[in-house]
Amino acid sequence: MSQDETPIVNCPDCGKSVIWNENSPFRPFCSKRCQLIDLGEWAAEEKVIQGSQLYSNHDGWSEEPDRN
């Protein structure tokens, strides 16, 4: 009797092999990154990038961990 074979799928985003078990929480994606891409969350991250451009325009980085 063979143990039940673990299915292997290909990540829909990058095509990498993903073992379908609990070690792959993002299956069928290989990683959270690929999952996010597929969910369209990249669009949300673009907003963040645009926002930080506004900040760098404005007098730079006052978020130093230096402050007490």
The answer to whether residue 39 forms part of the interface with Zn ion (CB under 5 A) is: no
Classify burial at 63, counting beta carbons within 10 Å of its beta carbon; exposed 0-12, middle 13-18, buried 19 or more: exposed
Residue from 13, 28, 36, 37 touching Zn ion (CB under 5 A): that is: 13
Q: How many residues bind to Zn ion according to rule CB under 5 A? A: 6
35 binds Zn ion (CB under 5 A): no
User: Least distance from C-beta 24 to Zn ion, angstroms?
Assistant: 11
> If you search the block for the tokens 């985003």, which residue do you land on?
13
39: left (phi over 0), alpha (psi -120 to 50) or beta: alpha
State the residues that interact with Zn ion by CB under 5 A.
11, 13-14, 16, 30, 34
